[in-house]
Amino acid sequence: MPKAEPIIALDLAPAPLDAETEAYFRKCVEKIGFVPNVLLAYTHDLAKLKAFSAMYNDLMLAPSGLSKLEREMIAVAVSSVNRCFYCLTAHGAAVRQLSGDPELGELMVMNYRAAKLDARQRAMLDFAVKLTEAPWTIDEPDREALRKAGFSEKDIWDIAATASFYNMSNRMASATDMRPNPEYHGTAR
C-alpha cells in the first residue's frame, strides 16, 4: 500500500484528540465526507485548532448580511491574489457547490473580474482584494463604496474580517505547503 502524502511539510506530531475535537471531526465526516486537511494540520496544537475553527465557523457559517456564497467568494478572491493552492482548491470547490455554477468557481479562482458579478459582489471583492494587496490604502471612499452597494456597517466589518482571516490562512498554508484534500478537486464539476 502506498504511503499517504503528508498534508504539510512540517513534521509535527498530532496531539491526542479530546472528545470535543473528535466530535467535531465526526461532524465534518457526516457533513462533507472527510476532515479537511487544514483542520488536521492544526492537530499538533489543540488550542490553536480550536481557535482557528471557532474563527472560521463564526466568519463563514454564523448569521451575517453576507451570504455563504459571498463569504466563499471573498475567500477565493483573496486566495487568488495570494496564490494559495490549498484555499483556491477548497474554497473554489465551495463556490462551485454553493453557486451551482462550475464556471463561476473557475472564474473566481483565475480572476474574479472576468466573472459576471452584480454591483454588490463586485464592490465587496474589490474591497477584499484592495485590503489584501495594499491594506494601508483603504480609506473612507472604499467603505463608502460598500455602503453605496448596499452593505451595512456590520457587513463591512464582516467583509474585512473574512478577507483578513484568509490572508492569515493563506500565509500559513503557503508556509507549511499545506495540501488540499483530493475530494475538493472533483467537487461540483
Q: Mean pLDDT in runs of 10 for the chain (189 residues)?
A: 79 96 97 96 97 97 97 98 97 96 92 96 98 98 98 98 98 97 88
What pLDDT is attached to residue 48? 97
pLDDT for 56: 97
Q: Under a CB-based contact definition with an 8 Å cutoff, are residues 108 and 74 in contact?
A: no
pTM: 0.95
CB atoms within 10 A of CB 26: 11
CA dihedral 99→105→108→114, nearest 10 degrees, is -90
C-alpha torsion 99→101→104→108, nearest 10: 50
Domains of the chain: 19-61 (1.20.5.810), 68-186 (1.20.1290.10)
- How far is it, in rounded angstroms, from Cα 123 to Cα 106? 19
